């Protein structure tokens, strides 16, 4: 079973994170690079929207309505993906 974690944003809304596995994450890291080899933040966040934040399902339109949660939640999701504690 995939590793999961609940994250509570400062607003009190709960987001469920699910780790896609190390191999899938490693592949995604390569796809999320720009031409200069730097991480393309939009590509990384697209990946997180699709594969890491599983409840509620999020996309860019979701964040337009929940902007107050965007930065803290996506930062926590990136840290979770990388195996880092908050």
- What pTM value is reported for the model? 0.88
- pLDDT value at position 1? 60
- Give the count of alpha carbons within 13 A of 83, CB side only: 4
CA atoms 36, 72, 78, 53: torsion sign: negative
Q: What is the pLDDT of residues 22-74, one digit of tens each?
A: 899 899 989 999 889 999 999 999 999 999 999 999 999 999 999 999 999 99
């Amino acid at each position: 079973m995939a590793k999961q974690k609940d994250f509570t944003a400062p607003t009190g809304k709960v987001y469920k994170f699910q780790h896609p596995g190390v191999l899938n994450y490693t592949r995604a890291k390569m796809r999320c690079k720009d031409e200069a080899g730097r991480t393309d933040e939009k590509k990384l966040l697209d990946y997180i929207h699709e594969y890491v934040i599983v409840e509620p399902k999020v996309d860019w339109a979701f964040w337009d309505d929940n902007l107050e949660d965007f930065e803290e939640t996506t930062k926590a999701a990136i840290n979770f993906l990388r195996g880092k504690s908050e």
